[in-house]
Amino acid sequence: MKLLKCLAILITTGLVGVYGFVQSGIFNVAATNKDGPIITWLLHTTMEKSVERRAQNIEVPDINKNEMILAGLSDYVEMCAQCHGEPDKPSSILRQGLNPAPPDLEHLTEARTAAEMFWIINNGIRMTGMPAFGKTHQANEIWPVVAFLQSARDLTSTDYNRIKEKAQDYGHHGPESDAHDDSNSGHDHGEDGNEHDPHAHSGASDDEQMADMPSKQETVEHNHGEGETHNIEHDEVAAQEENKIDNDSNENNHDHSH
C-alpha cells in the first residue's frame, strides 16, 4: 500500500514537472538550435525502428527497368533535389535551414531498403522536413524514385549528369507528361468522338462564309414615328450611285458633242 502511494506521488510529481516545463517555454524549438547527442540518438533510432516495422509487408515491384530509373531521376530532380542535393549541387539554401539536416544523395542511397524508401517517401517523417508525397502522388509515381535511389549507389557526378540529360523526357513531371495533360483538357469532342478544333472553320468554304456577311449595298430599314418606314441606303452606296450618275451624264454629253 505504501509502495503504491509512493508511485502515485512520483507520477503526479512527474506530470506536474512536465506540464511546468512545457508552460515555461524554456525549451528552444528553433531550427538553428542543434539537439544534443542523446536526443539525436533517441529521435533517430525511434524513426529507424518505426520505419523498419511498417515497411516489412510492402511488396516491391520490379524496379530494375531502365525507363523506370530514368523516370525516377527526373522526378528526383523535381521532388527531392532541393533537400537531398545532387552530386554537383550537394547543398541548397533550403537544405541548409533544415534541422535535422536531410541526408545527401550519397548517404540516402545507402541507408534504406527499397521498401523502407518507399514507405518514407509515401508517408513522410514527422518533426522533420520530409513531406508525405503519398498525399499528392500515386504509388506508381513514387516507385520510380525508389528505383533511381537503389541504382544510384556510387554514382559519380559525370555519370549523374549524363543520365540526367537522358531523363528529361521521362517521369510524371517531364514534358511528355505535360503534353499529355494538355491534350486531355480544353478540347471539344463531338458525338463521333473526334476532337474538334474550336478555332477551325465550319464545313462551309471561305467564299460561302463571306456570302453570309452583310453586303455594303444592303438597305437598312429605319422606323420614323408611327408605322412609317424608310429604306435608306448607306452613305457609301449613295455616294457610289451619285458618282455613277455623274459618269453616265458625262458620257452622254461626250456622245452628243460628237
Higher pLDDT, 235 or 107: 107
pLDDT digits (tens, 9 = 90+) for 36-73: 899 999 999 999 999 999 999 999 999 999 999 999 99
pLDDT digits (tens, 9 = 90+) for 179-213: 334 433 343 333 333 333 333 333 443 343 333 33
Q: Kindly tell me the burial class for residue 124, based on how many C-beta atoms sit within 10 Å of its own C-beta (0-12, 13-18, 19 or more).
A: middle
Question: By three-state DSSP, how is residue 144 classified?
Answer: helix
User: Residue 116 — pLDDT band, cuts 50, 70, 90?
Assistant: very high
- Beta-bridged to residue 229, according to DSSP, are 223
Domain 63-180 has CATH 3.90.1150.10: no
Place of cell 522526378: 75
- Residue 224, C-beta contacts closer than 8 angstroms, at least 6 positions apart: 230
pLDDT over 60 at 156, yes or no: yes
pLDDT value, residue 145: 95
Mean pLDDT to the nearest integer, 102-130: 90
* Angstrom distance (rounded) from CA 101 to CA 108: 12
* Angstrom distance (rounded) from CA 144 to CA 148: 6
Q: Residue ranges per domain, the chain?
A: 63-180
pLDDT value, residue 206: 39
Q: How far is CA 231 from CA 77, 226, 234, in A?
A: 72, 15, 10
Helix (H) or strand (E) holding 179: helix 175-183
